[in-house]
Amino acid sequence: MNTAPTELEKAEFYRRIDPDNLYPLWEAVKEMMTVGPQTQATPHLWKFGEVRPHVVEAGHLVSGEDAERRTLMLENPSMRGARRITEALYTGLQCIMPGEIAEPHRHSPSAMRMVIESEGGYTSVDGEKCDMQPGDLILNPSWHWHGHGQEGDKPHISMTCLDVPLVRFLGPVFAESWTGNTVFPDGPPEDDCHARYGANMLPMDHAPKSPSSPIFRYPYAETKSALTRLAAAGTVDACHGVKMEYVNPETAGPVLPTLSAFMQLLPAGFRGETYRSTAAWVYHAVEGSGRTIVGDRILAWGPKDIFVVPAWFPHRHEADDESFLYSFSDKGVHQKLGLFRDQRGTEAEV
Ligand SMILES: [Fe+2]
């Protein structure tokens, strides 16, 4: 007569198969197939006023030759050492000191930068120079040469936004430094991409050269003007206020294959409804103040603060003043893979 195996017999079996690099699925399935998204990340807010002195101190600690790497990474408090702010997203604060040039290089991970403080800062993408003003979104797409300079007399500070954790997970990380005879590669005239692709037009018979947006700078003045006009017209979403996505004009999709970027206006006194999504979000308050309630945490933000909303966390925004929130996300990756889900209002309240 067959008898059910005892726990001792199972444990003995697991021990015997272990040297063959085998593990029983039935013991692991509950942690692998959860009823909903499980993130290791926790909500957190970095007060810019508290971290800015450290960022500027790094400007004195690390030499100008290493300016490109002079970044303090914002590590999620529950994922310290993993060099990321959520499972798939990386954020840092980079400082370029007056007169410095962060030398050109390129890498397969894609980067964006949200400019926080800049007077006289510029970037060069594939040799094309673009001004960098606070609130501008700057793209450094995969495998495009990029370097930066600061011609003003104050430190330049940008929030860098990368897909490094995702690309490292998949494997294809490549990087190289510029070794040409010129400071930057030769390229088109300054802001050529804006004239060519940023006027709701594309060159006749245009064929995209990469899956990334061909626009390297999305000026804040234009973004803010559009959002302000929409808010005045009453186009205010109950969860998001006036939230617009920066797009690749060739596809109308995310600006980069792996990173989506947004700017939203929250009117003064806005009290948003709850929202959650499978994608994670990293926010930066360009202007204004308020708070974002994430699960049981209240993240009170003011100008230049940065905060993270991990995947599937219910959250809602409240604004005291008219506020402009930049955010970036892995939403586009979830959408491409058919994995994106979101919920609004009472459905998102758990
Ligand atoms: Fe870079």
CB atoms within 10 A of CB 347: 12
Q: Calculate how far, in angstroms, residue 240's C-alpha sits from the geometric centre of ligand 1.
A: 31
Q: Calculate how far, in angstroms, residue 106's C-alpha sits from the geometric centre of ligand 1.
A: 6
Instruction: Supply 102's token pair.
Output: 């962060």
Instruction: Supply 8's token pair.
Output: 């001792």
- Per run of 10 residues, the mean pLDDT along the chain (length 350 residues) is 87 98 96 96 98 95 83 97 98 95 94 97 95 97 95 95 98 96 91 93 94 97 98 95 98 97 98 98 98 97 98 98 98 98 94
Report the phi/psi class of residue 259: left, alpha or beta, with left for phi > 0 and alpha for psi in -120 to 50. Answer: beta
Q: Calculate how far, in angstroms, residue 143's C-alpha sits from the geometric centre of ligand 1.
A: 9
Q: Calculate how far, in angstroms, residue 108's C-alpha sits from the geometric centre of ligand 1.
A: 9
Q: Calculate how far, in angstroms, residue 107's C-alpha sits from the geometric centre of ligand 1.
A: 7
pLDDT in the model for residue 106: 97
Q: Calculate how far, in angstroms, residue 171's C-alpha sits from the geometric centre of ligand 1.
A: 18
Terminal-residue alpha carbon distance, the chain: 49
Q: Calculate how far, in angstroms, residue 72's C-alpha sits from the geometric centre of ligand 1.
A: 14
CB atoms within 10 A of CB 119: 15
Q: With CA atoms as reference, report the closest residue to 44 among 3, 81, 103, 85.
A: 85
Rounded CA gap, 297 and 195, in Å? 44
Helix (H, G, I), strand (E, B) or coil at 77: helix
DSSP annotation of 170: H
Q: Calculate how far, in angstroms, residue 187's C-alpha sits from the geometric centre of ligand 1.
A: 18
pLDDT in the model for residue 48: 98
Residue 153 C-alpha from the chain's centroid: 28
Rounded CA gap, 28 and 41, in Å? 21
DSSP codes of every residue in 321-349: S-EEEEEEESHHHHHHTT---EEEGGGG-
Q: Is the dihedral of CA 77, 244, 258, 93 positive or negative?
A: negative
Q: Calculate how far, in angstroms, residue 112's C-alpha sits from the geometric centre of ligand 1.
A: 9
pTM, to two decimals: 0.96
pLDDT in the model for residue 350: 81
Rounded CA gap, 110 and 125, in Å? 12
Quickly tell me which residue has 């617009």 as its tokens: 244
Q: Calculate how far, in angstroms, residue 96's C-alpha sits from the geometric centre of ligand 1.
A: 13
Nearby residues of 305 by Cβ (< 8 Å), 6 or more positions away: 45, 46, 47, 48, 284, 285
Nearby residues of 10 by Cβ (< 8 Å), 6 or more positions away: none
Rounded CA gap, 30 and 166, in Å? 24
Q: Calculate how far, in angstroms, residue 68's C-alpha sits from the geometric centre of ligand 1.
A: 7
Q: Calculate how far, in angstroms, residue 27's C-alpha sits from the geometric centre of ligand 1.
A: 42
Q: Calculate how far, in angstroms, residue 84's C-alpha sits from the geometric centre of ligand 1.
A: 16
CA distances from 236 to 6, 153, 229, 302, 309 (A): 61, 40, 11, 21, 21
For residue 169, what is the enclosing H or E element? helix 164-170
Instruction: Supply 122's token pair.
Output: 């510029």
pLDDT in the model for residue 1: 60
Q: Calculate how far, in angstroms, residue 139's C-alpha sits from the geometric centre of ligand 1.
A: 10
For residue 167, what is the enclosing H or E element? helix 164-170
Q: Calculate how far, in angstroms, residue 111's C-alpha sits from the geometric centre of ligand 1.
A: 7
Q: Calculate how far, in angstroms, residue 178's C-alpha sits from the geometric centre of ligand 1.
A: 11
